Structure 1
Amino acid sequence: MNNLTELEVENLRHIIGSHGMIANKLDSYAQNCTDPQLKEMFQKDAQAARQAQQQLIGFFG
């Protein structure tokens, strides 16, 4: 992280937050979905968004 500028860090924080928001929305869609295939797709996509979020958080570690 030493090589990141303040603007890059701020952009990274924004992207991390966006992934979290997307994951929450997808979870909500899955909860309200009655089609099993669509529900599974929403759940998998929410999980992928959270995994991407965790990978991005790793840049701060």
Structure 2
Amino acid sequence: MNNLTELEVEHLRHIIGGHGTVATKLDNYAQSCTDPEFKTILQRDAQAARQAKQQLMSFLG
């Protein structure tokens, strides 16, 4: 667990969950968006949130 304290793990899980929520919301916004340029921005940001979530999850393993 990379010598993380219980509190640090709890905080990390909270942050990971937040990134997951942001990615889901951005995906939903992108699906309902009619502006192609804005839709692309939302999709790109959702992907970035998913990547950040994956990187943070590596600290738990």
TM-score range, shorter chain: over 0.9
- Identity percentage of aligned residues: 72
Gapped regions of structure 1 (runs ≥ 5): none
Gapped regions of structure 2 (runs ≥ 5): none
State how far apart, in whole Å, the 2-side matches of 1:41 and 1:13 are.
26
Q: State how many pairs are aligned.
A: 61
Q: So what's the TM-score if we normalise by structure 1?
A: 0.96
Q: Per the alignment, in what secondary structure is the counterpart of residue 59 of structure 2?
A: helix
Q: Whose helix fraction is larger, Structure 1's or Structure 2's?
A: 1
State how far apart, in whole Å, the 1-side matches of 2:41 and 2:28 are.
12
What is the match of residue 9 of structure 1?
Answer: 9
What is the match of residue 22 of structure 2?
Answer: 22
1:1-61 to 2 correspondences below 5 Å: 1-61=1-61
**Would you say the 8 A contact 2:23–2:49 is kept in 1?**
yes
Q: CA deviation at 1:60?
A: 1.3
